[in-house]
Structure 1
């Protein structure tokens, strides 16, 4: 099996949207409200991610299996932390991993872990020392 991460291209958008929709269904079946009722990634957001070259896709044997986005912009969601705090060494600048999804037909093979490891490696190669994550 050949597995690698690459930057998404505009032609990947339909497949990425299908993976995100697949992820929505998986979350819904699990009773998770995230990405439901119009919330979460949409075509406009993902097209912008691709245009800004922050969207990455996990390829498995030439098939698009997963997606994730590396954001280095300040995220308002990380400004107010409830019931905790950032570690003392936490940087003022950081890279956040967002919009992570794995196509359901690739689940159960350890590929979500591979996707996260590759996204973290890509962030480190871009100079990130503080990496945060949410879906």
Structure 2
């Protein structure tokens, strides 16, 4: 499969929103309260893309995954209950969702690899992320990829597990 990772386009919002809606439904079916409070929503996605922070993983013309990438922009991370590995510049990613048709094909791992490349390309060697305490699939991916559990952060009153990975200056 030939996957590409790039900034999302406004015209792709319907595809992205379909992927996110199914991911929201999947989280609910898994018994999770993550993403069950009206977030993320269409406005959040449009805002991501307009600010140049929305990214897609594609196969040909098909959007197979979505995420938002920000640099040094997560105020809640300053209030961590625990300790980050670094205090330098960091890339943070949110709203990772993979199309139903592409689940189990390693697309989330591919996407996170591209996010790490994005960080390196911006001379940033820390990637920070959080997920719900019951998102076992994502926590397993973080552990597999070498992310360290650093403590807890809070979003909209909910506790989340916080992770960080320190990147090497070059991939090789």
What is the TM-score of this pair, normalised by structure 1? 0.89
Secondary structure at 1:59 match in 2? strand
> Between Structure 1 and Structure 2, which shows a larger proportion of strand residues?
2
Choose 91-100 or 108-117, whichever is displaced more: 91-100
Query: Residue 36 of structure 2 corresponds to which residue in structure 1?
Result: 36
* CA displacement at 1:73 relative to structure 2: 4.2
Contact 1:99 1:134 (C-alpha < 8 Å) held by counterparts: no
Query: Residue 85 of structure 1 corresponds to which residue in structure 2?
Result: 83
Q: Which runs of 5+ in 2 are unaligned?
A: 132-172
- C-alpha separation in 2, matches of 1:37 and 1:49: 19
Bigger RCO of structures 1 and 2 (CA < 8 A, at least 6 apart): 1
1:107-118 aligned at under 5 Å gives the runs 107-118=103-114
What is the TM-score of this pair, normalised by structure 2? 0.71
Over residues 31-69 of structure 1, what are the superposed CA-to-partner deviations in whole Å (9 max), with x where a residue is unaligned?
11110031x221111111111111110002321100011
- Structure 1 stretches of 4+ moved >6 Å: none
Root-mean-square deviation (CA, aligned residues, Å) is: 1.5
* CA displacement at 1:92 relative to structure 2: 4.1
